[in-house]
């Protein structure tokens, strides 16, 4: 019970940490760029769109939260394949999200085997990116999914060699993986 309580506390802390970035990410990642000429130039991050997320198999709550939160805090929609062997935290999280202030359809959780569902997500033309973190250690499946994703130029967050230590500071990379940078040029003095 105490171990489960620690995992739930860590998952809540992780959600709060990511929520804190919601109004800061654009200022940290975007920029007013120096330009030599009568222009000014602004770069701003924009969401990629629909992101398929393969949740970690072992860390079915903290890992799940750690792959969903960066996708949605950066403005994307997530289609998540839950842990196959431990789906209950994902199903319970789906219930919580359904009754929270999160708009419907922002997080869509599917249960089933990643090896069965992921090829469809990777090749689906309406999916703009895929996070392979959840299939850490399955190099063959990861390679197949990267090839399937290449058909419509998806962003791919590659699978690590082993499941990460979810208790470590995630940094900005999980959020910036699914952002596009839009740069706008404006004339000055006209």
Give the model's pLDDT for residue 189: 75
Q: Does domain 47-178 have CATH number 3.90.79.10?
A: no
Q: What is the pLDDT of residues 22-53, one digit of tens each?
A: 999 999 999 988 888 888 899 999 999 999 99
Task: Give me the mean pLDDT over the 144-161 stretch.
Answer: 90
Give the model's pLDDT for residue 190: 62
Task: Give me the mean pLDDT over the 86-114 stretch.
Answer: 95
Three-state helix/strand/coil letters over the chain: CHHHHHHHHHHHHHHHHHHCCCCCHHHHHCEEECCCCCEEEEEEEEECCEEEEECCCCCCCHHHHHHHHHHHHCCCEEEEECCCCCCHHHHHHHHHHHCCCCCCCCEEEECCCHHHHHHHHHHCCCCCEEECHHHCCCHHHHHHHHHHHHHHCCEEECCCCCCCCCCCCCCCHHHHCCEEEEEEEEECCC
% pLDDT > 90, the chain: 84
Task: Give me the mean pLDDT over the 83-103 stretch.
Answer: 94
Q: What is the pLDDT of residues 51-84, one digit of tens each?
A: 999 999 999 999 999 999 999 999 999 999 999 9
């Amino acid at each position: 019970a105490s171990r489960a309580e620690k995992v739930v506390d860590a998952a809540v802390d992780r959600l709060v940490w990511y929520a804190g970035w919601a109004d800061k990410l654009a200022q940290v990642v975007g920029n007013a760029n120096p330009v030599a000429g009568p222009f000014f130039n602004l770069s701003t991050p924009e969401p990629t769109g629909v992101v398929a997320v393969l949740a970690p198999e072992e860390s079915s709550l903290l890992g799940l939260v750690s792959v969903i939160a960066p996708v949605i805090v950066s403005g994307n929609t997530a289609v998540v394949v839950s842990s196959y062997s431990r789906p209950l935290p994902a199903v319970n999280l789906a219930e919580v999200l359904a009754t929270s202030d999160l708009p419907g359809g922002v997080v869509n959780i599917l249960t089933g085997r990643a090896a069965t569902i992921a090829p469809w997500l990777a090749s689906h033309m309406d999916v703009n990116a895929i996070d392979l973190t959840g299939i850490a250690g399955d190099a063959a499946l990861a390679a197949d999914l990267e090839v399937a994703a290449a058909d419509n130029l998806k962003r791919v967050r590659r699978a690590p060699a082993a499941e990460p230590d979810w208790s470590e500071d995630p940094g900005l990379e999980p959020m910036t993986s699914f952002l596009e940078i839009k740069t706008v040029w404006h004339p000055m003095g006209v």
